[in-house]
């Protein structure tokens, strides 16, 4: 509709992460339980724009999506000396916790996709008590690599084109063309080496095999949802991971791939709505123990 | 269960690719900086393909002695048959999904393949258009 203004608002918050100050861009909408959304590797918070604009969810949730440093509108810090960007488990965990602290969020729900799904598992391992619930989309403790990441950042290959072309096959064929193209556009816009640097966490530093057994879902409920067309983090990867975590809940999402919230928001809504409803119900009547 | 495809049907579908590309000006434009000799097709009977400025100028089915190619992407007939379905099943919907599951092999000097990855994905998906029309 001509002249329509969407309800989410974007702002910057200055966040101390490991002693360096970062200017972090985030968008938010709604009120209620804080729901912090983490984008995939090499992308940014725009992936969550449909959830941010959801009239029903935002009645009960304060939906917040931030761009990781180096991504979207969150620039590298002023202290950056030009070294190759590499995301580590420690730094990723620090960033999320520091962001939540800077915004004074009280026991937020964190929902992350892909690398965001992987780090959600790490939050569940080491910091579960800080969160109301954790949701991992396309999440597993590990998955087999399927290409050489050196192709992502070299001067004789167009970074935007190759990043988008690599991930294009992770989108389900049923996803609408417009949302497919929009999902890929973020990959075409990423800074040089940023997608590759994120995958350092995913491929090298963030292997959680043998650690997820420590997750206690009585402390913090854990939901894992994976698209059937995701051949990077397959439904089998997620099921294998969940098998080691008593009380974790797994959903395989039909007709969705690696980017459920952006590649096909309507289809994703069908799957995330019952999860958010359950979190809400536990909030209203915590003693009834819906996760018991 | 996946039905064993007719190998001749796969070869026939491959043979349509030059004509399908000729009709797809957007795809030709995307490949306008691509000059490459490559090997594409079923593993047992690949085609030798010469591409110049994004256009196929040679598409040879018959084996030629000591033919050079820069890279090769070959898959099983089952893989091609599934890849070309209007709505491929999970794991058969992308060239790299096929390599990950061992239904396809990419080898050689991969630079032209990676610089034009979406071009090759779309080029090799062209028979899907014909299948979709036939199914309609």
Model confidence over A205-243: pLDDT tens digits? 999 999 999 999 999 999 999 999 999 999 999 999 999
Contact check, Cβ <8 Å, A146/B111: no
Query: Quick check: is B59 in a domain?
Result: yes
If contacts are CB pairs under 8 Å, which of residues 172-191 in chain A contact chain B? Answer: 172-174
The answer to whether residue A289 scores a pLDDT higher than 50 is no
Is residue A4 assigned to a domain?
A: no
Q: What's the angle, vertex CA A105, arms to CA A117 and CA A9, rounded to 5?
A: 85
For A174-198, how does the pLDDT look when each residue is reduced to its tens digit (9 = 90+)? Answer: 999 999 999 999 999 999 999 999 9
CATH code of the domain containing A192? 3.40.50.1820
Q: Is the pLDDT of residue B132 over 80?
A: no
For B121, which of A146, A168, A170 is closest by C-beta distance? Answer: A168
The contacts found for A50-53 with CB under 8 angstroms, 24 or more apart, are: A50/A261, A50/A262, A50/A265, A50/A268, A50/A269, A51/A261, A51/A265, A51/A272, A52/A6, A52/A7, A52/A8, A52/A27, A52/A28, A53/A6, A53/A7, A53/A8, A53/A29
* Residue B136 in domain: no
**What contacts A292, CB < 8 A, 6 or more positions away?**
A218
**Residue A288 above 50 pLDDT?**
no
pLDDT at A290 over 70: no
For B108, phi and psi rounded to 5 degrees?
100, -150
* Whether residue B61 has pLDDT greater than 50: yes
pTM recorded for the entire structure = 0.95
Specify the range with the lowest mean pLDDT, choosing from A168-182, A242-256, A273-287. Answer: A273-287
What is the average pLDDT across B4-26? 91
- Beta-carbon separation of B115 and A166 below 8 A: no
Give this complex's ipTM: 0.94
Of A151, A156, A231, the CB nearest to B97: A231
Percent of chain B with pLDDT over 90: 83
In a domain, B135, yes or no: no
Confidence of residue A72 (pLDDT cuts 50, 70, 90): very high
CB pair distance less than 8 Å for A231 and B90? yes
Structure token pair of residue B135: 């199914």
Its domain, for residue B89, covers: 7-130
Q: Is A3 part of any domain?
A: no
Task: Give the separation between CA A10 and CA B67, rounded to whole angstroms.
Answer: 58
Q: How many residue contacts between A and B have a Cβ separation below 8 Å? A: 50
Sheet containing B35-42: give its strands across. Answer: B55-60, B47-52, B35-42, B71-75, B104-108
> Both tokens of residue B120?
């090759």
What are the residues of chain B with a beta carbon less than 8 Å away from any beta carbon of chain A?
87-88, 90-91, 93-97, 99-101, 110-111, 114-115, 117-118, 121
């Amino acid at each position: 509709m001509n002249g329509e203004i969407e309800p989410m608002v974007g702002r910057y918050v200055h966040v101390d992460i490991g002693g360096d100050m970062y200017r972090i861009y985030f968008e938010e909408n709604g009120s209620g339980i804080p729901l912090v959304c983490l984008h995939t590797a090499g992308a940014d918070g725009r992936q969550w724009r449909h959830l941010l604009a959801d009239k029903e969810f935002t009645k009960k949730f304060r939906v917040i999506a931030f761009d990781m440093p180096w991504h979207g509108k969150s620039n590298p810090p002023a202290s950056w000396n030009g070294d190759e960007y590499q995301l580590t488990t420690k730094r990723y965990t620090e960033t999320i916790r520091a962001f939540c602290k800077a915004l004074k969020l009280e026991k937020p729900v964190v929902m992350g996709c892909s690398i965001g799904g992987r780090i959600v598992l790490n939050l569940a391992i080491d910091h579960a008590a800080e969160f109301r619930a954790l949701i991992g989309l396309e999440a597993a403790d590990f998955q087999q690599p399927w290409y050489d990441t050196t192709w992502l950042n070299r001067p004789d290959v167009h970074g935007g084109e190759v990043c988008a072309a690599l991930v294009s096959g992770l989108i389900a064929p049923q996803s609408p063309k417009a949302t497919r193209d929009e999902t890929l556009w973020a990959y075409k816009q990423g800074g040089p080496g940023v997608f590759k640097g994120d995958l350092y966490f995913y491929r090298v530093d963030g292997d959680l095999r043998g650690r997820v057994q420590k997750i206690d879902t009585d402390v913090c409920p854990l939901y894992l949802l994976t698209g059937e067309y995701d051949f990077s983090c397959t439904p089998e990867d997620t099921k294998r991971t969940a098998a080691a975590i008593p009380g974790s809940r797994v959903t395989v999402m039909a007709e969705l791939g690696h980017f459920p919230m952006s590649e096909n928001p309507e289809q994703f809504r069908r799957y995330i709505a019952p999860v958010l409803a359950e979190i809400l119900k536990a909030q209203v009547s915590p003693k009834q123990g819906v996760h018991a | 269960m996946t039905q064993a495809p007719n190998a001749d049907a796969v070869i026939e579908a491959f043979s349509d690719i030059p004509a399908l590309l000729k009709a797809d000006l957007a795809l030709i434009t995307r490949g306008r900086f691509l000059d490459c000799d490559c090997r594409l097709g079923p593993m047992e009977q690949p085609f030798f393909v010469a591409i110049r400025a994004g256009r196929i100028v040679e598409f040879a089915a018959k084996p030629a002695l000591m033919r050079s190619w820069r890279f090769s992407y070959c898959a099983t007939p089952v893989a091609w048959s599934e890849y070309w379905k209007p709505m491929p099943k999970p794991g058969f919907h992308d060239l790299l999904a096929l390599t990950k599951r061992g239904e396809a092999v990419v080898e050689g000097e991969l630079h032209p393949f990676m610089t034009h990855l979406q071009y090759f994905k779309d080029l090799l998906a062209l028979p899907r258009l014909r299948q979709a029309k036939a199914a309609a």
